[in-house]
A and B are shown apart, each in its own frame.
Chain A
Amino acid sequence: KQEVTQIPAALSVPEGENLVLNCSFTDSAIYNLQWFRQDPGKGLTSLLLIQSSQREQTSGRLNASLDKSSGRSTLYIAASQPGDSATYLCAGRGSTLGRLYFGRGTQLTVWP
C-alpha cells in the first residue's frame, strides 16, 4: 500500500518568499504524482501532474519535481502571494488501476 507524507504540515510566510513543499511516498512504482490545491471547505483544484517518466513540470510560478528513486516530490512556489494561501495536497497514483493515495497536506498562509 502506498503511503504519502507531506512536510511541513503548516507554513506561514510573508508575501514574496519562495517556498518548497515536500512530499514523500513509500512505493517507487508510482504511476504518476499530482499536486492539488484545496481552499477551505472546497473541492480540489489540480495544479500539476508529473508522469513517472518525467522529472518536473512547470506552470507559471509553480514547479513540481519527481524523484522516483528517492520517493520524493517537491512543489516550488516562486514569489508567493496572499492568494496562494490554501492547503496543498500531493497524491500518487499507484499501479492499481485508478486510485490515488493522498498525503495530509501542507496548510500554507501567505501574509501581506
Chain B
Amino acid sequence: SAVISQKPSRDICQRGTSLTIQCQVDSQVTMMFWYRQQPGQSLTLIATANQGSEATYESGFVIDKFPISRPNLTFSTLTVSNMSPEDSSIYLCSVEGPMVLGYTFGSGTRLTVV
C-alpha cells in the first residue's frame, strides 16, 4: 500500500494565524482526501483534492477557510486559515490504494489553537 508522509505531526498556534499541513505520497494517486477529527469525534471529510482542478469541499467547509493545493500526483497541502480554538483537531490526509488494499492514512497533524 501507499506510504504517506504528513507534517507537521503537531503544532500549537495562536488564534488568527494560519497553518499549512503537507502530505507526500510515495506513489502517484488521482485523489487525495483531507479529514478532520475533532476531540472525541470521528473523522469528517473536509475536501477531495484532484490534481489539476479545484478541490471539492464537503458541506460546512469552504475554500477560504481551508485552501488546498494539489500541484502534482504525489503531493497536497491543506491550510487552516484564521484559526480559532474551535479548529483544534487532528487533521489527516488519505489516499485510496488498489482495490484490495483500501485506504491509507497519514500519521495526522494534531493542531492546538490557543
A residues contacting B by CB (< 8 A) are: 32, 34, 36, 41-46, 49, 51, 89, 91, 93, 97-100, 102-105
For residue B100, which residue of chain A has the nearest CB? A49
Total contacts A-B at CB 8 Å: 59
In the docked arrangement, what's the CA distance between A43 and B9, Å?
A: 10
For residue B105, which residue of chain A has the nearest CB? A44
List of B residues within 8 angstroms of A41 by Cβ = 10, 90, 108, 110
- The secondary-structure label for the interface of chain A is strand
List of B residues within 8 angstroms of A98 by Cβ = 31, 33, 48, 96
A89→B105 contact, CB < 8 A:
no
Given contacts A46-B102, A98-B31, is CB(A89)–CB(B42) below 8 Å?
A: yes
B residues contacting A by CB (< 8 A) are: 1, 6, 10, 31, 33, 41-45, 48, 90, 92, 94, 96, 99-108, 110
> Within the complex, what minimum Cβ distance (angstroms) separates A102 from chain B?
4
In the docked arrangement, what's the CA distance between A36 and B105, Å?
A: 10
B101→A44 contact, CB < 8 A:
no
A32→B102 contact, CB < 8 A:
yes
B92→A43 contact, CB < 8 A:
yes
B45→A100 contact, CB < 8 A:
yes
A49→B101 contact, CB < 8 A:
yes
In the docked arrangement, what's the CA distance between A42 and B101, Å?
A: 20
In the docked arrangement, what's the CA distance between A68 and B48, Å?
A: 27
**CB contact between B1 and one of A46, A91, A99, A100 (< 8 Å): that residue:** A46
Given contacts A34-B102, A43-B106, is CB(A102)–CB(B43) below 8 Å?
A: yes
B92→A102 contact, CB < 8 A:
no
With most chain A CB atoms within 10 A of its CB, the pick from B6, B31, B90, B105 is: B105
